[in-house]
A and B are shown apart, each in its own frame.
Chain A
């Protein structure tokens, strides 16, 4: 049994109460922060506490949530994926190009675009992972390269233009709101989060993701090949970038080579605020969802409050650092609890 998996398994032991305290400490920290921020803006910012505003925030977080879900896998193994924004751009132009093809009926073109987006994204991710592992290059560098490559490819595919004229049924689905509270694209984001949560929590693969982030050498020594899992997490990250591209198309109805600029940093920020450790081995995808919510609630709340444009990034930047600082304090508390 590798040391890493042992530690993960250990969490399942202990009394129910201890487990409850531990899990709520782990997950609730950021959730409480989110609630506090929401309450603050509800009290201070006009129009913040309205159904339309929350509906809008649900729509606005969808893209980043999907990207951050895949990013969580990569960061849990101790890697980083800087290419997701550009890969998203590439996938939007690939998907849009297929959907605007007049020879294809929407019944064919929409599923085809979805498959093409996911395949393109997954391929980019697989290349990232494979290069990292084959030549032992840090993922920071490989994905930085992919950031440029995918961006250039997006420009080639789209011939530097924004692609419009997506099928009406596709556009309508993007505007769809279920039960008056669930926008279709938010629903997609939630489904991605749930699948990600399931994989990390209940599958052997998920356990290996944590184990590699905790102690890769131990995984290797136990006779398992971490290489395959590491390639897989980058492939997942690329795959979610492809799904995020479909969400982008549903939300903005255009494919664009300049889509997604800077999105990688928003995704990383959501993961980190959500309590996942940059050095890997520790974190949760539910936290990532909360992290994405915090980022967008801050951005929207500050605008509704009438904050200056220049003040917004200062506040958001401070919150990112604060989240990590609080996280280390929480860890100390957790350790004390576990030592008890």
Chain B
């Protein structure tokens, strides 16, 4: 500011050369003066995840934090997770807190595809860029709230079908399978079940039973043990996540059936990799959680720069078998 006014005052009494010099000096002051304030105006990016007790979100957080550490000059970063992944009211609080703190971008993996629409619409109205990753917000609820948000995430149904197809190929037509579902109200659980059902229909498998073990290892272990008592001829198991697959493999181990009954999972968490390698699990699905959040941040920055995204921007998924590890 001061450099401007001194330039202005001296304009009349100066020759051209002096003027240029003064101007150069002025702009130098201006540049050096602006640079720190430019640094302070770095966009603030908040990542809101589900339960950090879930391996998948731990990977997501680690990936995003690594990306933020590599780009400290481009943006400030903060990640929060929930204690319980079903407590979406806590997630609403987290979003509201980021809005209070005047964050520029909120990257969010919604705990509930419908419930999160209202608070996120409020954030949008407050001028925050919202990037929806992992689980797509409900289309109807978005329409009701009058917002249009792109979705950056994996095809859960397609991914489950990759795993299901691998199982169908291993068993052949007529193979008898059971499904372990995630939380029945969770969108990705419903999509993964639909993907498994696609494989069953296409591969002409026989579905003996499908029940929920709420994403949990211990519950899956109990459920699988009961399945083994109930059905004597199970040949394959489709688990909607790897935590449940772990419980299934333990149940098979206890019954002396591991390796005889084929198991597929989802998420490719580190704990199942030795099982896949050792033949106790047939396959799992990688959805690159670590990359997903970092990419969400990137899309947020691009939106701030003026780009707009709509519809579904699909992120990578890959079938992981023993050959990949």
One digit per residue, 1 when the CB lies within 8 angstroms of any chain B CB and 0 when it does not, for chain A 37-63 equals 000000000110010110010011001
Cα distance, A326 to B214, chains bound together (Å): 40
A262–B100 CB distance below 8 A: no
Which B residues between 172 and 206 are near A, CB-CB below 8 angstroms? 183-185
B185–A309 CB distance below 8 A: no
The one of A47, A164, A310 that contacts B101, using a Cβ cutoff of 8 Å = A47
Q: Which B residues touch A171, using CB under 8 A?
A: 118
Which one, B88-96, B149-157, B162-170, is touching chain A? B88-96
| Interchain residue pairs A-B with the least CB separation, the first 4 | A160-B184, A258-B86, A254-B115, A162-B114
Quick check: is B81 within 8 A (CB to CB) of the other chain? Answer: yes
A313–B89 CB distance below 8 A: no
Report B's interface with A, CB cutoff 8 A.
52, 78, 80-81, 83-84, 86-89, 92-94, 96-97, 100-102, 112-115, 117-119, 138, 140-141, 144, 183-185
B52–A309 CB distance below 8 A: yes
Cα distance, A165 to B114, chains bound together (Å): 10
Cα distance, A257 to B184, chains bound together (Å): 10
B78–A306 CB distance below 8 A: yes
Taking the closest CB of chain A, its distance from the CB of B114, in whole angstroms, is 4
A261–B87 CB distance below 8 A: yes
Which A residues between 237 and 275 are near B, CB-CB below 8 angstroms? 248, 251-254, 256-259, 261-262
* Given known A-B contacts A259-B89, A261-B84, A309-B52, A303 and B185 have beta carbons under 8 A apart: no
Q: Which B residues touch A160, using CB under 8 A?
A: 184-185
Can you list 20 A-B contacts (CB < 8 A)?
Answer: A47-B101, A53-B100, A56-B97, A56-B100, A60-B93, A165-B140, A165-B141, A251-B89, A251-B92, A252-B89, A256-B88, A256-B112, A256-B115, A258-B112, A258-B183, A303-B80, A303-B93, A303-B94, A304-B97, A309-B52
Q: Which residue of A lies closest to B118 (CB)?
A: A253
The one of B81, B100, B102, B112 that contacts A162, using a Cβ cutoff of 8 Å = B112
Cα distance, A60 to B100, chains bound together (Å): 13
B138–A300 CB distance below 8 A: no
Q: Which residue of B lies closest to A253 (CB)?
A: B118
Taking the closest CB of chain A, its distance from the CB of B111, in whole angstroms, is 9
Quick check: is A299 within 8 A (CB to CB) of the other chain? Answer: yes
Taking the closest CB of chain B, its distance from the CB of A199, in whole angstroms, is 28
Quick check: is A331 within 8 A (CB to CB) of the other chain? Answer: no
B87–A252 CB distance below 8 A: no
B81–A309 CB distance below 8 A: yes
Q: Which residue of A lies closest to B86 (CB)?
A: A258
A interface, how many residues as a size bin? 35 or more
* Given known A-B contacts A56-B100, A258-B185, A304-B101, A252 and B115 have beta carbons under 8 A apart: yes
Cα distance, A306 to B46, chains bound together (Å): 11
Q: Which residue of A lies closest to B212 (CB)?
A: A160
Cα distance, A248 to B87, chains bound together (Å): 13
B93–A299 CB distance below 8 A: yes
Cα distance, A16 to B141, chains bound together (Å): 58
Taking the closest CB of chain B, its distance from the CB of A252, in whole angstroms, is 5
Q: Which residue of A lies closest to B49 (CB)?
A: A309
Cα distance, A74 to B46, chains bound together (Å): 40
The one of B94, B114, B119 that contacts A164, using a Cβ cutoff of 8 Å = B114
Taking the closest CB of chain B, its distance from the CB of A316, in whole angstroms, is 10
Taking the closest CB of chain A, its distance from the CB of B325, in whole angstroms, is 30
Beyond the given A46-B101, A300-B93, could you list 8 further A-B residue pairs with CB under 8 A, ordered by the A residue number?
A162-B115, A165-B144, A252-B115, A252-B119, A253-B118, A254-B114, A262-B84, A300-B97
Q: Which A residues touch B93, using CB under 8 A?
A: 60, 299-300, 303
A47–B102 CB distance below 8 A: yes
Q: Which A residues touch B89, using CB under 8 A?
A: 63, 248, 251-252, 259
Q: Which residue of A lies closest to B144 (CB)?
A: A165
The one of A63, A158, A164, A261 that contacts B86, using a Cβ cutoff of 8 Å = A261
Q: Which B residues touch A251, using CB under 8 A?
A: 89, 92
Cα distance, A251 to B102, chains bound together (Å): 21
